[in-house]
Amino acid sequence: MTQTTTQTPAYNELKQRFEEMNLLGAAHSVLLRDAQTVMAPGSGDQRSRVIGLISKIGHSKVTGDAVKTLLDQAEEERKYLSPDDQKNLSLMHAYWITESCMPEALVEEINSARMQGRQKHNTDSKKGDWANMKPFYQRAFDLQTQAAHYKQAALGMDTPYEPLLSYYSPTIDPTLIDHVFDELSKSLPGIIETATQYQEESPAIALYGDIDTEDKTEEQIKAEQTNILWRKFPMEKQIELCTHIVESMGYDLNKGRIDWVEGHPNTSGNGQDARISVWRQADFLQTLMAAMHEAGHAIYLQGLPEEFDNQPAGEFFGMSVHETQSMIFEKVAMKSMAFCEYLETLAREVFGLPDDPALDAHNLFKLMNKTTPSFIRVHADDMTYPAHIIVRYNIERDIINGKASVDDIPQMWNDAMQDLLGITPSNPAEGHMQDVHWPYGSIGYFPSYALGQIGAFQLFEAAQNQHPEIQDELREGNFDTLFNWLRKNIHSRGSLLSYDELFTQATGRPLEAKPFLTAMQNRVAQIRPATPEQNAAHITRKSTPL
């Protein structure tokens, strides 16, 4: 019997190189986070140069002919490695191929285009001038198409789009995405229609209560609502409530940090230093959703396998899985009726509002699960959000695969929005120009948002089937069983499994749309007081294909 060991010279040197790259990456992360949170505005140019140099040094550690020689030598020694180390070696090889298969000039042009595309989008996207923005979209798609063809050939993939998709959603089968998204496209319009009807029959009480709107402009009304919310939910109390909940979720603040910011929420770092930023919102539910979402990301980082720390096998498994870990807390647990019962008690105590009708558990449930077709993706609710992603996925896939062009984007976008949500943007700013992803070159990223959402519901369903006590624990604000299940089945796996293996081992089957659709139907049934049998029958009649 062959003895397995990791003490092979070439593999050990590769491990050292990847560790050095990731340690440099940790420095990059801290510097970038500092720039986003506390750095002085005039320090940006110097910081960009420092970050660029760190990235260049890190990249050089794991690319080039010397690394290829080490990889070839390690492959000859593969039989002496444990199965997990063999997987780590395979991931090293895939990384080298992906990073080395393109001409250096193309890589430099892509990086330059990214910065220019982001800057142009930041300054001009809200103007809605497509003729002005289109050249930046065209350049990004042209460059990413070139990169996609190089990567397709090097990795032996079926279509040019697949390597771009795989960068954010490793090993996932594009046909699985097509199948899941087709199911959603057929079922969601009926569920959304029914939810809208029920909301009209049983509207939620706004957190700001009733205000007099007579003879007031929209801006005046909004300002009054915001002032009321800040008085009812002061930020210091919101921080108290959110911190208590994210620590209950399992976020270890001994290896993390929360910054309360005006900008967009985000997570950065690694398992030893997982930091989150949460935006300050007058509506405490918006603050809490961001806190639970980002804490879910951080908890995932903190649970990755320590034995492969700073190695490819110990990294998070793409954004599709990363998003499941944020959304299982924010979109599944938080928006359940069970958690709303706990949140009512906690919110009344923290904010000193024992008799406020808006904090009733059922009202909180209705507020968080309200659905309204809208144009802007980042403001979309849980039921309509997948439609926004499906629109983008179909467009970017067809352009990269040569079945459509940048010229087709406006019409493809508007047609798809009308088909899926029954609305058509009045201008490009609220339509195809709203996201920075395409001019920045992040093509292939969008599907991970919806895959994370769909996957979160499937993972939660599996955890609850194995541990029915989870619902009762959520009523007490207790996440321990859910946390432990995720640690065992997702976090500790790192990147050691394929996408299908991860879901099949955790849930008994590959990713599918059914758990999400069932959950949405159940939520619709809870929006108004009625028997589940009545609501289920009504939803069934409404959920017809397009």
Provide the residue ranges of all domains of the chain, joining segments of one domain with +. 9-158
**CA-CA distance, 457 to 463, in Å (whole number)?**
10
Q: What is residue 33's predicted lDDT score, i.e. its pLDDT?
A: 85
**3-class DSSP assignment, residue 301:** helix
Adjacent-strand bridge partners of 276: 258, 267
In 10 A of CB 203, how many CB atoms? 13
**3-class DSSP assignment, residue 27:** helix
Which of the 8 DSSP states describes residue 171? T
What does each of the 546 residues of the chain score in pLDDT, given as a tens digit?
Answer: 344 455 699 999 999 999 999 999 999 899 988 887 888 888 878 888 888 889 889 889 999 999 999 999 999 999 999 999 999 999 999 999 998 999 888 988 998 888 889 889 988 999 999 999 999 999 999 999 999 999 999 999 999 999 999 999 999 999 999 999 999 999 999 999 999 999 999 899 999 999 888 889 999 999 999 999 999 999 999 999 999 999 999 999 999 999 999 888 999 999 999 999 999 999 999 999 999 999 999 999 999 999 999 999 999 999 999 999 999 999 999 999 999 999 999 999 999 999 999 999 999 999 999 999 999 998 999 999 999 999 999 999 999 999 999 999 999 999 999 999 999 999 999 999 999 999 999 999 999 999 999 999 999 999 999 999 999 999 999 999 999 999 999 999 999 999 999 999 999 999 999 999 999 999 999 987 545 554 454 444 333 322
CB 308 within 8 A of CB 494: yes
What's the distance, CA 308 to chain centroid? 24
Q: What is residue 119's predicted lDDT score, i.e. its pLDDT?
A: 84
**CA-CA distance, 385 to 135, in Å (whole number)?**
28
**CA-CA distance, 398 to 409, in Å (whole number)?**
10
In 10 A of CB 86, how many CB atoms? 19
CB 226 within 8 A of CB 216: no
Q: Which amino acid is at 530?
A: A
**CA-CA distance, 275 to 255, in Å (whole number)?**
8
- Residue by residue, DSSP assigns 401-449 as TTSS-GGGHHHHHHHHHHHHHS---SSGGGTTTS-SHHHHT-TT-HHHH
CB 162 within 8 A of CB 149: no
C-alpha torsion sign, points 203, 205, 210, 211? negative
Cβ neighbours for 511, distance < 8 A, ≥ 6 positions apart: 176, 180, 451, 454, 455, 458, 499, 500, 503
